[in-house]
Structure 1
Amino acid sequence: MAATEPATPSPTAAPANSMENPARFGLMLALCAAFLFSTKPIIIKWLYELGMTALPLMWLRMMLAMPVYVVVGWLAWKRLPLKLTALQLLKAAGTGLLGYWLASYLDLRGLEYVSAQLERLMLYAYPTLVIILGALFFGQTFQRHHIVALILTYIGLILVYGQDLQFATDHIATTKGTLLILASALSFSLYILFSKNAIGNMGSLLFTSIAMGSAALATMLHYGISYGVSLPEMDSTRWLGTIVLAIFATVVPSFLVSEAIKRIGPAKTSVSGTIGPVATTLMAIVFLGEPFGWLTAAGMALVMLGVSRLQR
């Protein structure tokens, strides 16, 4: 290939390459985050089988992750060339409440009622909500071909929901869980839309630390009101699962997502999680023994097709 390259690069070649490599790296970050996030429902469902419940698990997860965000946030703060205003900090904290407290709590509650496969597909489909909310409230362009993608995605979700109903003993509980996951996806979509400007102002590391820090404080208050100051009953297995959930399915992918948004934008970041539903489905079948039928297969294919059309 070296023989075919010109001796002197064209004036436009260097900028194209300099833009291409950061974009590739941003995509790699987003894909890694998608895979790590795909393990979250598997770990949570396993911990539920061990007797844990949503809010205590969420509280322990946040408390274990909090020291990492404090250290990273402090280091990022010291490197800022210009200090941020109180309003900028409050906006970042409020955005974190949407993405990492409200969305997380709704997600964990929903997982008490639905399969890991349905949960992951519904969260994977949140780019459709980003498109809709972006067009309605953020001045983003909505095009006609988006309609086809939205129809495909939501038909797919209905099919997977039907699969869950087939194997459910309590249809009302399954519907409740589905609505909770949908509300979680809505909350996370707002987080994605609001986070872009904040990340641009303060950088992904500091923004994520502030967002997760505010969510951790909100979770601590939420848990204190509901359970007081007592620790949930724990053993070595529960601790191990909770630590893995906090570090590898929370801390690491949260930083990866913020850095990916910084490099390639929220739209491409949101649609890069194609591997998420597939990875979660395989792990749910192997490790949780969840059923897998033609409705799930067809629904997953439609959802992934719909989201991929949004990317194009």
Structure 2
Amino acid sequence: MTARYSSAATQNDQRFGLIIALCAATLFSTKPILIKWLYSLGVEVLPLIWLRMAMALPFYLIMGYLAWARLASKPATRHLLKAASIGLLGYYLSSVLDLYGLQYVSAQLERLVLYAYPSMVVILGMLFFGQTFKAAIILPLLITYGGLTLMYGHDMDMLAAVPGVNNDQLMMGAGLVFSAALTFACYLLFSKNSIRQLGSILFTCIAMTSATLAILVHQRVDSWLTGVDYPLVPEYSATIWLGIAALAIIATVLPSFLISAAIARIGPERTSMSGTIGPVATTALAVIFLGESLSLLSIAGMALVVFGVWRLSQIK
């Protein structure tokens, strides 16, 4: 009876972890929509990166303090430094690469390239992290990537849909986003043990705080090298400030906590593959808010992605 109850509890925890991962992916999918919209209003990359993280920082400081206060025994300094380093990888370097890449590619294309990271997590996990590969994940992986191919592969003309951008710039943008995907895959893999040591909330707060400080340093160094003075608090309209606030809270704070909680429950591989639902949400939002195109093949691709993620949820 006890073993059966334990098995059922574990299965419920796995399902809850999957739901958390899907929610995180959906919230993260609003990021390119908000960023492309803010770019269209004249917001530049570096101020946007800084303000996004600066607005999110108070949430992480408060939650981090509460999580720290609840600890019966305080973690070693090396564990705190490790979490800070992992944060630099996943929420500083990956974010910077992604936002620069979004200058040159559409929101939908950004999601397609960025969501190469689930396969990277699986491959890197096997090669360098000693993780066991489950054959059962092959079919969901093929289904989801088949769906992504249908969603975007049929219409490469979207590459030319970005006004004033040539093919070299498009390739550079795609390369930057791909690099963002690679660094985020490494973040997911490195974060697993750190989350186990610190707890998902404290880990997230430390990682995001270190990333925020790194972005501030980045902005100041860039300003010094280029001679362009970026004010810490630019004179933006109320509309722009609301957009940045949405980017900070809806597309950063909430999903960052959710994704750490998901990794703690279902591991980095399943968390990353659950994230393939993100392009579906991005496509829908891009069509509604950015006026990007949608075809029957895109709809069929969405259906395959949803089905693939559902198949993933059935793996025990």
Shorter-normalised TM range: 0.7 to 0.9
The equivalent position to 1:236 in structure 2, one of 217, 233, 238, is: 238
Q: Is the 8 A contact 1:118 1:161 kept in 2?
A: no
Q: 1:187 to 1:300 in 2, by over 3 A?
A: farther
Unaligned runs of 5+ in 2: 224-228
Corresponding pairs, count: 303
3-state SS of paired residue (2:275): coil
Higher mean C-alpha displacement, 149-158 vs 87-96: 149-158
Which residue does the alignment assign to 1:167?
161
1:248-267 maps to which residues of 2 (within 5 A)? 248-267=250-269
In 2: Cα distance, 1:133 partner to 1:167 partner: 34
> Does residue 200 of structure 2 align to residue 204 of structure 1?
yes
Separation in structure 1 between the aligned mates of residue 167 and residue 308 of structure 2, nearest angstrom: 27
- Tell me which residue corresponds to 2:145: 153
Distance, in Å, in 2 between the alignment partners of 1:246 and 1:160 is 33
CA distance in 2, matches of 1:257, 1:19: 19
Shift of 1:230: 1.7
Structure 2 CA distance, aligned partners of 1:304 and 1:161? Answer: 21
Give me the TM-score of the superposition, normalised by structure 2: 0.86
Instruction: From the CA coordinates, give the structure whose radius of gyration is larger.
Output: 1
CA distance in 1 between counterparts of 2:241 and 2:283 reads: 25
Structure 2 Cα separation of the partners of residues 158 and 79 of structure 1: 47
Moved more, 223-232 or 168-177: 223-232
Q: Indicate the RMSD between aligned Cα atoms, in angstroms.
A: 2.7
Residue 196 of structure 1 and its aligned partner are, at CA, apart by 0.2
Given that 1:119 and 1:181 are in contact with CA atoms closer than 8 Å, whether structure 2 keeps it comes out as yes
Residue in structure 2 matched with residue 51 of structure 1 by the alignment? 42
After TM superposition, the score normalised by the length of structure 1 is 0.87
Give the distance between the partners of 2:230 and 2:285, measured in 1 at CA: 35
Is 1:99 aligned to 2:90, yes or no? yes
Distance 1:210 1:297, change over 3 A: same
User: Is the contact made by 1:123 and 1:185 (CA closer than 8 Å) also made in structure 2?
Assistant: yes
**Could you tell me which residue of structure 2 aligns to residue 122 of structure 1?**
113
Kept after mapping to 2: 8 A contact 1:159/1:296: no
Match of 2:172 among 176, 181, 191: 176
Q: Does 1:220 align with 2:212?
A: no
- Which residue in 1 is equivalent to 2:5? 14
Using the TM superposition, give the Cα deviation of residue 167 of structure 1 relative to its aligned residue in structure 2, in angstroms: 2.9
How much does 1:135 deviate? Answer: 2.0
Q: Are the counterparts in 2 of residues 128 and 307 from structure 1 also a CA contact under 8 Å?
A: no
Percent of matched pairs sharing the same residue? 54
CA contact under 8 A between 2:22 and 2:277: conserved in structure 1? yes
CA contact under 8 A between 2:195 and 2:264: conserved in structure 1? yes
Partners of 1:159 and 1:295 within 8 A in 2: no
Conserved in 2, the CA contact under 8 Å of 1:153 and 1:307?
no
String of CA shifts for 1:278-310, please: whole Å, max 9, x gaps: 111011011101123577567767777888888
- Structure 2 distance, partners of 1:158, 1:291, is 11
Question: Any idea what SS the aligned residue of 1:254 has?
Answer: helix
Q: Which residue of 2 is the match for residue 5 of structure 1?
A: none
CA 1:298–1:15: 2 relative to 1, 3 Å? closer
Q: CA deviation at 1:54?
A: 1.6
Cα separation, 1, equivalents of 2:168 and 2:137 = 32
Mapped to 1, the partners of 2:254 and 2:51 lie a distance apart of 16
2:74 to 43, 62, 83: 83
SS, match of residue 81 in structure 1: coil
